Structure 1
Amino acid sequence: MTWIFQAVPTFFLVAGWATAVSWTRRRTDAGLSRQAWLRHRVARVLGPSAAYVVLVSAVVVLLQIAHVASSTLEYAGWAIAMHLWFLGVYLVVVSLTPIAVAAQRRWGLLVPAVSAVILVAVDVALRLGLISHMGWLNYLLCWGVLYQLGIAWRNGLLTGPRPVLLAVGSAAVLALLIWQGLYPVSMIGVPGQAVQNTSPPSAAMLAFGCAQAGLVIALAPALNRLLRGSAVQRVLTLANSNVMALYLWHMIPVVLVAIIGYPAGLLPQPPEGTAAWWLARLEWVFVLGLVTAAELALLWWGRRLFAAPLPTFSAVPGRWAEPATLVGAASAAYGLAYLAAAGFAPDGNFPWLAAATFAAGVLLVALAPSRAAIPTS
């Protein structure tokens, strides 16, 4: 069941394809330098992210001042921050796009293949206890492989039977790993499970992601034909322009309903698996749907804030612009990764250092060279 809801591999695959398109067209279509292109891409992520982090941080600080129970604040702060890991990884792979594209042109599919081998080596070393603090590397390796496959797809390296072979071969590896009992079936984190496929991403997650990627690439021509209608294109364009805000804010309804509904006794908790439990799940989904609809309306109303790219201003000499952007992206990625791991209120306290690290990164990205061409789209 969790396989249906695990769509992160597709996100990174498509992101790699789209970013490769943007990178190769940067000069012919927009006349952008490398640093201007990089700032533009990073700013599109950090604008909505900064709005989310600032507003959530303000609420958490106010709740801490109001002496809300530390356990409640810690859990809620973790729940609304755990999805930020995606943005941290995404910032890193986007920043490495010029290198990734160049490597792809020189070594082709050997690039994701070598990355996959390194991931497996790290995964095995982690499971054997040979290393203990390198799990974060597999976040970059696993999702970097999918991102690299997206670039390969854009460059025409995954044509003909290759997508099907990728899907079938990866699915066979995944089935073998699960059948041997080396990894759990679930592709979403399950609390209390000894071995997780997601944190950090395991060899099984990589196999699952590659199988999903092969399937998506194989089905892409048929999907493109289905999505050619003008009405569908308008909907997709609208969704694409607000997708970052939607991703950032999608956990807020869950937390609001949980911290209000459960303590107040509005959401019953019958024995798991019973008919009453399933009815309670339907009630939960219905209430979440209502709250989410209200949130979507607010996000649409405030889209100039919640979905806008990070504004930039001229403040640094041209030669320092690209280093500032790269350091800023790395700093922001670290801040987001820390928040995703610890939450907005670890031990009931707001993490000021992590917030400052993120803020410093955002500020560095916003510093444009005095004569840089900043795109408007």
Structure 2
Amino acid sequence: MSTERDRYPDALRAGALLVVVLGHWLATLPRLEAGYLVDTDHLLVVWEGAGVFTWVVQVVPLFVFVSAAVSAVGVRRRLSDGHRQLHWWAGRALALARPTVTYLAVLAAVAMVSRLMEGRFLAPFNHSLTIHLWFLLMLLGVQALLPLSVRVDRRLGLRAVWLLVATAAFIDLLRARPGSPADLLRLGELATDHATLLGWLNLLVVWLLPQQLGIAWRQGRFTGTGTGVTFMALGLVWLGATVASGYPLAMVDGEVGGRSNLLPPTLALVGVMWLQVGTVLACEAPARRLLARRPIRRAVTLLGALGMPLYLWHKFAELPAAWLGERLGAPIDAGVPGEAGFWWGRLVWLLLCLLMVTPVMAAVVAFEMRRRRDLVSATAGRAVVGGGVALFAGILASMALGALPGALVGLAGVAAASWLLRVHPQPR
């Protein structure tokens, strides 16, 4: 039996992270006055129609789907041993906590120096430099429930998927509180207009859905190009119907607050999942033929190794990109979507971000490779739980408070998590 690593899931994860990075850069709209950066806008705030692009660039469900498919087999072997399950999750948490410590430490230092020198570059990017860390929280949260999802798949199969879909729909229905059957045609409008605590239950339900789908795919419960095309068609119809009922067009948020498909997740976001899972199935055969070529496999391996560091640091690279754009007099000012030069300016901005992220990534990779690789503590369950709580609290604080003081406050929590989760040498 061949033991060669399956590169298709690796390629999907690497591609998903690249799409997120490029999407974040594209959505950042620098604003200049007299040639100097004074602010940034978000593409979705100034151009509502751009929300349709998020049907493609909202690839977090794809990442959860693939991660669950890759991890499901190992989790099945650990189902009878709760200690091994906890140890596995602690390894995932430590693998994310350590590079996040580096990111927050550098960001905190830059933020404090900028404040002391009355720098103006940090303020336009302040919250955007930490808000993308939400992905780490969501990923670790659903992975903590991966053993439960595997058990549910073993017992219910694909019925578990439809049960989650029905639960998400029921929660949105309770949010909407329709007064008549005619109100069901305005389900999305009513649901997203009512910011109730009940809606936050879908934070768990909706993000567990791609995980359950990934496990089912790994178990061969659905496969084939025909199934993929069917899922893609279902996704497009689903998205069209939910948007027509009043759900927002965009599947990501341009700003916190207001009507949203993400905070909390809604039934509309499920349409993106059908679309992405269908694309995975429809593209599997040609993608595997491409991955049989050694240069393609090497590129996927490299992107896979750089994927998470790139995700952590890509927003940071916007700072030197803006500085260089100013110095070169590049047309990075976004102007108004639809005006002449808008897309040319976006291309220039993307090229500057790519240029400046290269030395950032080189420095980060060189630093991480010199660090000693820590092992996860296999003895103290309370230390793992404490590390998880500290990690979540630190990331939440950094997201809420921005680069300053959020990076400094968050660093304390994430550093504590990294310390709690790893093995400590015992004194002789």
The normalised TM-score by structure 1 is 0.80
| 1:322 paired to 2:381 | yes
User: Which residue is 1:204 aligned to?
Assistant: 268
| 1:358 paired to 2:411 | no
User: Which residue is 1:167 aligned to?
Assistant: 232
Q: What letter matches 2:147 in structure 1?
A: P
Q: How far did residue 232 of structure 1 move?
A: 1.7
Q: How far did residue 115 of structure 1 move?
A: 2.6
| 1:247 paired to 2:296 | no
| 1:118 paired to 2:167 | yes
Moved more, 58-67 or 4-13: 58-67
2:154 to 105, 109, 124: 105
Q: What letter matches 1:143 in structure 2?
A: W
2 CA distance for matches of 1:25 and 1:237?
Answer: 26
Q: What letter matches 2:391 in structure 1?
A: A
| 1:9 paired to 2:61 | yes
Q: What letter matches 1:83 in structure 2?
A: H
- The 5 A counterparts of 1:210-221 are 210-221=274-285
The normalised TM-score by structure 2 is 0.71
2 CA distance for matches of 1:37 and 1:342?
Answer: 31
Q: How far did residue 247 of structure 1 move?
A: 0.9
User: Which residue is 1:96 aligned to?
Assistant: 145
User: Which residue is 2:26 aligned to?
Assistant: none
User: Which residue is 1:375 aligned to?
Assistant: none
The alignment covers a number of residue pairs equal to 354
Gaps spanning 5+ residues in structure 2: where? 1-52, 177-190
User: Which residue is 1:43 aligned to?
Assistant: 94
User: Which residue is 1:152 aligned to?
Assistant: 216
Change (3 A) 1:362 1:74: farther
> 1:100 touches 1:148 (CA, 8 Å); kept in 2?
yes
Moved more, 5-14 or 356-365: 356-365
Change (3 A) 1:85 1:22: same
| 1:298 paired to 2:352 | no
User: Which residue is 2:6 aligned to?
Assistant: none
Q: Which has the higher contact order (CA 8 A, sep 6+)?
A: 1
Moved more, 267-276 or 171-180: 267-276
Q: How far did residue 341 of structure 1 move?
A: 4.0
1 CA distance for matches of 2:425 and 2:268?
Answer: 44
2 CA distance for matches of 1:78 and 1:100?
Answer: 34
Over aligned residues, Cα RMSD in angstroms?
A: 3.3
1 CA distance for matches of 2:154 and 2:372?
Answer: 30
Change (3 A) 1:207 1:244: same
1:269 to 333, 338, 342: 333
Query: What is the aligned-residue identity percentage?
Result: 27
> 2:94 touches 2:376 (CA, 8 Å); kept in 1?
no
Q: How far did residue 198 of structure 1 move?
A: 2.8
1 CA distance for matches of 2:278 and 2:135?
Answer: 21
Q: What do the CA deviations read for 1:121-158 (whole angstroms, capped 9, x no partner)?
A: 44441736665345554333322211221111111222
Change (3 A) 1:294 1:157: same
Moved more, 200-209 or 113-122: 113-122
Specify the SS of the correspondent of 1:201: coil
> 2:229 touches 2:282 (CA, 8 Å); kept in 1?
yes
Q: How far did residue 44 of structure 1 move?
A: 2.1
Specify the SS of the correspondent of 1:302: helix
1 CA distance for matches of 2:332 and 2:415?
Answer: 41
